[in-house]
Structure 1
Amino acid sequence: MSQIESISFKNRTWDVAGTLRLPEGFDPNRKYAAIVCGHPISSCKEQTSGAIYGEALTRAGFITLAFDASTQGASGGEPRFLEDPATRTEDFRCAVDYLLTLPYVDEERIGVLGVCGGGGYAVSAATTDRRFKAVGTVVAANYGRLMREGDMSPDVVDKTLEAIAQQRTAEARGAEPAIVGYIPNSIEEREKAGIDDIDIVEAVEYYRTPRGQQAGSPNKLRFTSTGAAMNWDAFAFTEQLLTQPLHIVIGDVPGGFGSYRDGYDLYRRARTTTKTLQVVKGATHYDLYDQPEATSKALEQLIPFFNKHLDT
């Protein structure tokens, strides 16, 4: 069994909460490859990034570090419940800073794995941080693209930006912050709203039922923070800057979050010539969060990928 340690590291002035997993038979006098594991948007380290992928990669011999995003979960940072791409991306760099203080981590063998929105952030971090020697993504979603599309209505961006502007003005004048949900709070709420997109259906089943529900993932988002994603692209400059080996995992059942087409987009755009795209047949976006058949297929290729490129 892997050893699990609760740790923290700094991003600017606050503490980011993490879970460090050490492989069975861990020897502090050895040097190990390590992988930073980033959670989906609205998620936390106790869900898919840590409990599924982090645990499996540690069983395969890697040290893994899963963490809660700044201002979310058990991590510090104010104001709470931000979804700010710049801060989220910096979390990944700070995670590497922390790993490099550990004498048993080999600085030449550090990788990164991100799930859903965390996959987009992982890619963004790796474009400018060459300490990441290999990049893996599972159903990576481009948060900026998703925010710009919204419900696909022609004027969605204009309406959203106007609403953000009005709310910021109200809060500057003393109004309470607008804290909204990423998704409906229950199956009943989703059904009442008439939402039947498969990604939303399965998001509610994962996050809002015992299947995946965790205290660190309360479905709370500071509305005004969404403006920061409107002019952000998770895959910006990958054509020029993403040179590390890259393995992309997607399911072949597309949904509203767009990770299926984002996977192909990232594969096309990434400069690296060492890149692979794995399409898991019959798998939805959320199957690749925690369903054993789908996640085991993803790991069948992710583990050899990291073994090869982190030289284990």
Structure 2
Amino acid sequence: MSDITIKPVTVKTPYWDIAANLLLPPDFDDSKTYPAVVSAHPIGSCKEQTAGNVYGPALAKEGFVVIAFDASFQGESGGEPRWTEDPARRVADFSYVVDHLVTLGYVDADRIGVLGICGGGGYATNATMLERRFKALGAVVPVNYGRLMQEGFSQYDAIALLEQVAEQRTKEARGGDVQVNELLPPSPAAAQEAGATDRDVVEATEYYKTDRGGKPNGVARMNFGTLNQALNWDAFLRAETMLTQPALIVVGDQPGAFGSYRDGMELYGRIASSKDRQLVVAEGYSHYDLYDRPEPVKIALDALIPFYRKHLGQDA
């Protein structure tokens, strides 16, 4: 059996291009039709990290066409100003990626699912409510970015943050420099020197700022003047009524400040789907363990692969 094939592609939108990688199964035959999965990266990440170099290849090896894409304003995708984390735009990106998939003769338009990791899981959840072409949702350590901004990322003072953003935008409108904030210390040593103790901050630095997970476009960086885009947003809004597709949520039970255990549990409890609603808890593992550590990733994939096979109509 041959290995998977990775094919860079360009997804067109009315505004700018989205950069993506198509991951094609072993022994791919473009005369056949395949189920497909859209794979979405975490906040501050890129398609070459966990969504596209861990989960994407694993699903492609199991016979799925996978497309991992860079969010607008990030990675190799278009959009200005750079490093904007705009929830509405990130959700809209999913539909443009699906638009691209359904033009491919070897993708079955009735067998498309979605997978999101971390903030990508929150965005994938919101997108699934709006995008009926998604037949199944997988969310690994999902984070509700709006909730995170309203709480920890704003020091639990959203109004104060909005005032700071307003001041910064006025500066920029008058010709001042754009403020881009680094979300993490530059190295594990710097995190230790700064006294970082929270599990998620320490482990995020170990992932993004070392050879373990670091990639040129996975910069964990954010444009400060655009943060107001998220402060009145909720990834899970109306999940009780609109999220009717089958859904599988994977969390680790070792919580950290970014809150994926809490958000995953909340999401599982709120999902409207009566067809298939699953919760998988990787016991003894944390948020960032589920990015790339073999044992917890296997726990996630051992649930995700049969879940997608069942709901995307792929023979086991």
Q: What is the TM-score when the length of structure 1 is the normalising length?
A: 0.98
1:26 is matched by which residue type in structure 2? F
- Read off the aligned partner of 2:117 and give its amino acid letter: V
Deviation at 1:237, TM superposition (A): 1.1
What residue is the counterpart of 2:27 in the other structure? 25
* Structure 1 residues without counterparts, runs of 5 or longer: none
Asked if 1:236 corresponds to 2:237, the answer is yes
Residue 122 of structure 1: which of 121, 124, 149 is its match? 124
Secondary structure in 1 matching 2:36:
strand
Contact 1:123 1:235 in 2 (8 A): yes
Contact 1:178 1:222 in 2 (8 A): yes
| Letter matched to residue 287 of structure 1 | D
Report the counterpart of residue 181 of structure 1 in structure 2: 182
Match of 1:261 in 2: 262
Match of 1:163 in 2: 164
- 1:29 and 1:134 map into 2 onto residues whose CA distance is 25
Please point out which of 95, 116, 125 is paired with 1:93: 95
- Corresponding residue number in structure 2 for 1:83: 85
Alignment of 1:183-198 (within 5 A): 183-198=184-199
Offset of 1:185 from its aligned partner?
Answer: 1.7
User: 1:187 Cα deviation (Å)?
Assistant: 1.8
**What per-residue deviation string (whole Å, max 9, x for no partner) do you get for residues 172-193 of structure 1?**
1111100111112222332232
RMSD: 1.1
Q: Give, as a single letter, the amino acid of the residue that structure 2 aligns with 1:81.
A: W
Q: Choose from 5, 8, 15 the match for 2:7.
A: 5
The aligned amino acid for 2:86 is D
Aligned partners of 1:302 and 1:204: how far apart in 2? 27
Aligned residue runs from structure 1 range 1-312, under 5 A? 1-150=3-152, 153-154=155-156, 156-273=157-274, 274-312=276-314
Q: Distance in 2 between matches of 1:83 and 1:68?
A: 12
Q: Does the aligned pair in 2 maintain the 1:185–1:219 contact within 8 Å?
A: no
What is the distance in 1 between the residues matched to 2:208 and 2:24?
Answer: 27
- Does the 8 Å CA contact 2:43/2:220 hold for their aligned counterparts? no
8 Å Cα contact 2:154-2:161 kept in structure 1: no
Deviations 1:187-243 (A, max 9, x none): 233223222100000000000011100001123211111111100001111111000
CA contact (8 A) 1:11 1:90 kept: no
Q: Residue 255 of structure 1 aligns to which amino acid in structure 2?
A: G
Whole-angstrom distance in 2 between the partners of 1:7 and 1:51: 16
Between the aligned partners of 2:159 and 2:244, the Cα distance in structure 1 is: 35
Q: Give TM-score scaled by structure 2 length.
A: 0.96
Task: State how far apart, in whole Å, the 2-side matches of 1:256 and 1:152 are.
Answer: 13
For residues 229 and 116 of structure 1, what CA distance do their matches in structure 2 show? Answer: 16
Percent sequence identity over aligned pairs:
51
Question: Any gaps of 5 or more consecutive residues in structure 2?
Answer: none
Q: How big is the shift at 1:291?
A: 0.3
Paired residues of 1:3 and 1:24 also in contact (CA < 8 A)? yes
Residue 151 of structure 1 deviates from its aligned partner by: 5.9
- Asked whether the 8 Å contact 1:247–1:277 carries over to 2, the reply is yes
- What displacement does 1:152 show? 7.8
Q: Deviations over 1:103-162 (max 9, x none)?
A: 1110110000000000000011110110000000000000000011126855x2122111
Paired positions, count:
311
